[in-house]
Amino acid sequence: MGTALTGRLAAVVGGDHVSTDPDVLAGRSTDWTGRYRGRASALVRPGSADEVAAVLRSCRDAGVAVTVQGGRTSLVAGTVPEHHDVLLSTERLNGIGDVDAAARRVRVGAGVTLAHAQGAAATAGLLIGVDLTARDSATIGGMVSTDAGGLRTVCYGAMGKQVLGLEVALPDGSVLHSSAAGGAGTGGYDLTALFAGAEGTLGVITAVDLRLHPIPAYRATALCGFADLDALVSAARILRDVETIAALELIDGRAIALADEHLGLPTPRGDAWLLLVELAAADDPSDALAAALDRVVACAEPSVGLDGATQHRLWHARESVAEVVGLFGPPVKFDVSLPLSAISAFAADSTRLIHHCSPDAIPLLFGHVGEGNLHLNVLRCDTDAESRIYPAMMKLIAAHGGNVSSEHGVGSRKRGYLTMARTSADIAAMRAIKNALDPTGYLNPAVLFD
């Protein structure tokens, strides 16, 4: 990138918010897992939608690619540049408006972390329907861009369901203000939905109008242990249909054992598989939970939490998985959506595949079993083993009737497997939309498409 473009960017956002320092760029060009690295020519941090739009116009006119970065928590190398790109960070788009408690909504900047947005909502007795273990780093704009799921999807749906409107800087440098279908004054195409899951390929989300929900007055939580995965899945089928279901999480017992061994975290149970279930309602759901658990065949009596401290301890079993997956260096991550009937067979087949390619590797399976959206992490897996495991795992997922991307997006890591997730007609339509909005293809060029 030439000094002329650097000067134009500095004129837009201020010199303090443009960096060409090689060390800064190297750190920003590495993904969340540490496995994937790219190349960038500059980092620019605009502070408003108009500045984002001006940055995009400048880069488009200069023929320079742009990669958008929020909290950089992408697990599919979605924020890794490949073309000496300008990195456009949304971190300064961090304003939070007043919470409209009556309308149950709030406008937040795209660079606001989930944790900060949750805190603002909580002051009004409200919550955001999506929650992630990466809440302290993941940004609202990035979560919308990937249509993130998370720990509460079984109750509230994915991130796109939480969006009432968007402010988006388009590739031509204009700024779009959209409302979700069904909102006041809507008609024609649902443009808001178009950007949820587009992974930054169609525009840069600069602000989000979020739908909020009342904080339930009561919660009841249980952790159930199972010797085999089929029994757990059978229990999940029962529990996901309970009216007040708020969370339903599969936890690999190997992760709990590793947390105890390496992190000194207490292990609430020693079962091969665990299922965390939580009900939430305006009235005490403990009787409903007890009735549902009576229909579940578990190894022993479930651990039940009706008070905040016990619930926190049970939830820690799930949240500790995030700490475990980094114990042996960057893990290899698979984000997979499976029919419930296929989960047990997939777990067995994937373990065999992993150990065939890398005998010392440790597979950990966990995630949102109510929707069949699971995360398979392979620990202690070197680069050579990854090159053998990854394509074989993609085929295995497809063989079990699964989708190779459930909620992390496609990014650049999975773009070669997009045909396993979408039909040729789907991909052609997506390319047509991309070409219409970004005819030169300069915005997030490494993402989604080969």
Contact 363, 378 (CB under 8 A): yes
Q: What is the CA radius of gyration of the chain?
A: 22
| pLDDT score, position 409 | 79
| pLDDT score, position 301 | 87
| pLDDT score, position 106 | 98
| pLDDT score, position 1 | 61
Q: Which residue has the tokens 């999975």?
A: 414
| pLDDT score, position 66 | 97
Which of 214, 236, 258 is a domain's end point?
A: 214
Nearest to 347 by CA among 371, 370, 365: 365
Let me know if residue 206 belongs to a domain.
yes
Q: Which residue has the tokens 């401290």?
A: 309
CATH of the domain at 307: 3.30.70.2190
Supply the angle between the helices 343-357 and 229-239 in degrees, to the nearest 10: 140
> 241 and 201, same structural domain?
no
Q: How far apart are CA 5 and CA 24, in angstroms?
A: 18
Q: Name the H helices within 29-172.
A: 49-62, 114-122, 140-145, 153-156
Residue 441 banded pLDDT, cuts 50, 70, 90 = very high
Q: How far apart are CA 214 and CA 120, in angstroms?
A: 13
| pLDDT score, position 176 | 96
- By residue count, the chain amounts to 450
Residue 10 banded pLDDT, cuts 50, 70, 90 = very high
> 185 and 121, same structural domain?
yes
Nearest to 323 by CA among 273, 260, 385: 260
Which of 89, 123, 143 is a domain's end point?
A: 89
> 83 and 128, same structural domain?
no
> 110 and 78, same structural domain?
no
> 251 and 203, same structural domain?
no
More confident residue, 74 or 15: 15
Q: What are residue 219's DSSP bridge partners?
A: 280
Span 409-422, average pLDDT: 83
| pLDDT score, position 290 | 95
Read off the pLDDT of residues 240-262 as tens digits, 9 standing for 90 and up. 999 999 999 999 999 999 998 88
CATH of the domain at 386: 3.30.70.2740
> 115 and 208, same structural domain?
yes
Pairing mode, strands 85-89 and 40-44: parallel
> 238 and 196, same structural domain?
no
Read off the pLDDT of residues 273-331 as tens digits, 9 standing for 90 and up. 999 999 999 999 999 999 999 999 877 889 999 999 999 999 998 989 988 988 888 88
> 360 and 316, same structural domain?
no
pLDDT at 184 over 60: no
Read off the pLDDT of residues 92-147 as tens digits, 9 standing for 90 and up. 999 999 999 999 999 999 999 999 999 999 999 999 999 998 899 999 999 999 99
> 331 and 396, same structural domain?
yes
> 209 and 111, same structural domain?
yes
Span 67-84, average pLDDT: 84
What percentage of the chain has pLDDT greater than the value 70?
97
pLDDT at 406 over 80: no
Residue-number span of the structural domain to which 185 is assigned? 105-214
What's the predicted TM-score (pTM) here? 0.91
Q: How far apart are CA 316 and CA 122, in angstroms?
A: 21
CATH of the domain at 167: 3.30.465.10
Let me know if residue 425 belongs to a domain.
no
> 228 and 197, same structural domain?
no
CATH of the domain at 83: 3.30.43.10
Which of 190, 214, 238 is a domain's end point?
A: 214
> 222 and 289, same structural domain?
yes
Let me know if residue 438 belongs to a domain.
no
